[in-house]
Each structure stands twice: as C-alpha cells, then as structure tokens.
C-alpha cells in the first residue's frame, strides 16, 4: 500500500485562520487547527495587521499537525483561501506599511461612488469588470489610501490581496488567481487580465501587482526554506496559487459551471453571501460578476451583516445565540456595519414595531429574520439578474446549500428554512472553504483538476432538510420596513 499523502487547505477569514489536514486520496478530514485574528476600527474602519495572519497561519498549521496526528513528511501540498477585497500594501522588504483595510471597511464609500461616476456609470463598470465599485472593492480602498495617506500609497512597493500576501510568504512568489483578482476592481473578467485603462484611472502601476496564475490550483512554487522551517513542513511541499474564500467554497462544494445556478449556495458567516457556478460570464450591476478560480464564473451577491451582527444583538440582550423565537411584530435590521446589499454603506441598525408584549427572545429572533431576509433578497436579485424568476416553482424548489458558521447553528438553519420555503442541504464536510483550498493544494501537488478532485471527495454531500411553508407574513413585514427605511437608514428614522 502506498504511503498516505496529506494536503493542507488554509481558510484565512476575517476572524480566524483554519488549517484543514485532508487525506489527498479520500478527502477525509483528518484534523483542523485554528488561530484567531484581531480586527480593529470604528466609524466604518475595519483593519487587521497582516503579520498576525502569518502568525495565525503558522499556529493553525502547528495545531492541525497535532490534532490530526499526521507526520509532517506526509504533507505534499498547501493552498490559502483568503477573505476577499482586503488592501495590503508592502514596502520593499515585503513588510506591511500599514494595517490591511478589510472588505467590510466602509470608509471608501465616497471613493466607490466617485469611481463609478468617473468611468461612465454602473453599466460601464459591469461590462468591463463584471462588478460595480462599492466600499468593499479593493479599487475603492486604493483610491481612499491615495487621498487620505498619499505618502503611503506613493511609496508602496507592492499591492496585495490577503491571500496573495500569505501565498507570497509561503513561496517568495508574487502570484494571485483569476477568482480573487476579479474582486479588486482593476481586473477585467472580459479579458482575463488586469485592465490598463482602469489601472490608469486608479493611478496604480501594474508592476506593483502579483502575476495572475492560470487557476487557483496552479503550482506557483514549493515552500521557501524559511517558510518550511516556520511551518515544520517539507521544503518540497507544493504551494498552489490559492484564491478568495467564496471561490474556494465553490471548489469545496464541487461547483464548476455544470449549469447556471443549478446549485445556489448561501454562506452564513461574518458576511452573508449567495453564489452559484456559471459557464456564462454574468454582466449585471445587481451583483458581483466574479470569475471562479477554475476558469468559469461565480455570480455572487454579498451582505455585510450576518452572524457577527446577530451575535452582537444577542450579547446586548444577554441571551445565548439560540435563545430566540420568531420576532412577532418587531423588525430589526442589523445593519451594524453599514450594508452592501442593499448598497447602504453608512447605514445603522434599525429597530421598529416594538410592543409592550415584545420579549427579548423575539428581538433576537427579529435580528435573525432581518439578516436572513436581507441575504435571501440578495439571492432573488442574483437569480433575476441571471434571467431566472425567483417565484417560478421550479426555481424555488432547488435546494439551497447552506455553509459557513451559521450552518452549524440551529436557529440560523431553521430561520433560513422558514423564510426561504426551500429544501436545505447542509454539506457534511463542514469546512467548504478549507476543503476547497485542500483540493487546490492537491491539484498543485498532482497536476489534477481541483473541482474533479473535490467531486471525487464527495464534499458536497449532506443531509437534505425538506421545505417548510414560506413565512410570507414576516417577509412582507420586513419588506415594508425596508422600502420605507432606505432613506432614513442613512440619516435617522
């Protein structure tokens, strides 16, 4: 029997790093190491020190080695999937010049609006990049940096995304992939390359950017001697180009453009995202028309406020996160970090409909409902933008694949079922982003196709929960508040 080979999939998210140790032949999850991140900021700012990501990656790999019982010599590949959109600026020694601006940093909303106007509006951007600039997009953050910290921008020797930064620490090679690059605002999904016209508009030299590898499973190098020593892994370990977290989750679920929106995915994490695979390049201002990491496309819509916002409401009420009941007449829109879908970057949370008999458990339930309706409305926008009617019985009957931290929460799952009226599948693997990164690592080590590898691992399988009747009353109540509040959310009710 040949010796077992192991690959490591790294999920470097907003809040933590996970390192999943996976049997390369079977896809069996052998162990997971974890390490926390620290996020700072107020008044719209959200920043992290990229050096902490590197230390967290090292700690997570060490913990994963211990948890899995794997011999380091068995590891043949590693890949990083990272939070999208973050802006990392480096000096000539490869050190961060300032904390990274994260995807949920909303300070660059005015710059996003200005860029949209300067380049001819939403349709012009969509045709060029597949997406319209919002505060989350890296291009908006680069414009903010040039306007607010011009000395830093002028002296930057390199500009990276979070996963690019970590891949470069592993290999010494400046490389990215089409998936994560498509979220920058300066990469064209129409041409599959950085867009020189947009780079000129942004005042960004292409020499500062990493090379775009073929796919996220492309081998960009072995570990450097220093990285191998820091991680305790063989220097021969293959390192994949990696990708963004959403693109990696798609790989981890075996999505590779088999059919437009056949398998819609709803991810409940710090943000709420909905996406699906497509072989057709989406071009709609209503969604993010990302590239997938395997050469197909990943139409996606994202909300800023999901599990973290609801946990904050639970903490304010002194309740456990599952100590909730349906919200009664109360509506709570937990837009604590502004909002991206709908595009309300300066929004605040809104509570209305209180009665004398409203209970704390109902208020927490209302927070769940507000977050879930927001992300389900984003799904409806995605479906409509791709030519599908969300109300069509055939479309509405397609199961939702539910992933992310919220997929492990009873109240999250039941709220999605009640408000969607759809069947729900919770994949059994539990870590689709990390498993997708592991498939990318296996592809880098073997030269195989990452989606085919993940499909062979059967990572998308899980229990299917039957549909329950859709709670139209709650939908209508929240929808009515959203219609009335889109203006007041920006300036007081």
Q: State the number of CA atoms in the 13 A half-sphere of 147 facing the CB.
A: 15
164 is catalytic: no
Q: How far apart are CA 65 and CA 299, in angstroms?
A: 36
Backbone angles phi, psi at 312, to 5 degrees: -65, -40
The residues pairing with 175 across neighbouring beta strands, listed in sequence order, are 211
Taking phi over 0 as left and psi of -120 to 50 as alpha, with beta for the rest, 401 belongs to beta
Structure tokens at 389: 């009617």
Q: How far apart are CA 7 and CA 440, in angstroms?
A: 9
Q: Is 37 one of the annotated binding-site residues?
A: no
Q: How far apart are CA 133 and CA 378, in angstroms?
A: 17
* Catalytic pick among 11, 23, 105, 245: 245
Q: Is 84 one of the annotated binding-site residues?
A: yes
Report, as residue numbers or ranges, the catalytic residues.
245
Q: Point out the annotated binding site.
A: 84-85
Q: Point out the annotated binding site for substrate.
A: 84-85
């Amino acid at each position: 029997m040949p010796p077992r080979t192991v690959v490591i999939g790294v999920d470097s998210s907003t809040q933590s790093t996970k390192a999943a140790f996976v049997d390369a032949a079977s896809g069996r999850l052998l162990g997971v190491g974890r390490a926390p991140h620290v996020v700072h900021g107020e008044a719209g700012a959200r920043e992290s020190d990229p050096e902490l990501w590197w230390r967290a990656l090292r700690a997570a790999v060490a913990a994963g080695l211990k948890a899995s019982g794997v011999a380091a010599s068995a590891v043949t590949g590693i890949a990083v999937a990272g939070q999208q959109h973050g802006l990392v600026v480096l000096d000539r020694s490869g050190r961060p010049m300032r904390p990274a601006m994260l995807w949920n940093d909303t300070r660059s909303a005015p710059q996003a609006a200005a860029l949209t106007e300067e380049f001819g509006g939403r349709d012009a951007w969509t045709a060029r990049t597949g997406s319209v600039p919002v505060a989350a997009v890296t291009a908006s953050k680069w414009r903010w940096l040039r306007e607010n910290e011009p000395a830093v921008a002028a002296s930057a020797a390199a500009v990276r995304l979070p996963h690019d930064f970590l891949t470069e620490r592993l290999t010494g090679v400046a490389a990215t992939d089409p998936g994560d690059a498509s979220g920058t605002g300066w990469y064209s999904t129409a041409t599959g390359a950085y867009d020189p016209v947009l780079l000129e508009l942004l005042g960004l030299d292409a020499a500062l950017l990493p090379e775009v590898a073929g796919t996220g499973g492309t081998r960009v190098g072995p570990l450097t001697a220093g990285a191998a020593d820091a991680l305790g892994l063989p220097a021969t370990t293959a390192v994949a180009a990696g990708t963004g977290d959403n693109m990696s989750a798609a790989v981890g679920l075996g999505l590779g453009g088999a059919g437009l929106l056949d398998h819609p995915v709803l991810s409940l994490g710090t943000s709420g995202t909905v996406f699906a695979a497509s072989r057709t390049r989406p071009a709609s201002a209503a969604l993010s028309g990302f590239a997938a990491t395997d050469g197909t496309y990943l139409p996606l819509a994202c909300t800023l406020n999901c599990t973290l916002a609801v946990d904050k409401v639970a903490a304010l009420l002194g309740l456990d996160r599952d100590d909730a009941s349906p919200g009664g007449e109360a509506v709570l829109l937990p837009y604590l970090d502004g909002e991206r879908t709908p595009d309300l970057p300066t929004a605040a949370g809104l509570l209305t409909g209180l009665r004398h008999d409203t209970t704390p458990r109902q208020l927490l339930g209302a927070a769940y409902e507000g977050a879930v309706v927001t992300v389900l409305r984003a799904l409806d926008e995605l479906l409509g933008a791709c030519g599908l009617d969300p109300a069509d019985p055939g479309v509405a009957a397609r199961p939702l694949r539910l992933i992310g931290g919220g997929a492990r929460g009873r109240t999250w799952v039941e709220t999605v079922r009640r408000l969607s009226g759809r069947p729900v599948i919770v994949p059994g693997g539990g870590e689709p982003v990390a498993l997708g990164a592991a498939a990318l690592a296996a592809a880098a080590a073997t030269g195989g196709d990452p989606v085919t590898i993940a499909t062979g691992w059967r990572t998308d399988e899980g229990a299917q929960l039957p549909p329950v009747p859709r709670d139209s009353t709650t939908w209508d109540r929240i929808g009515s508040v959203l219609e009335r509040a889109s203006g007041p959310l920006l300036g007081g009710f």
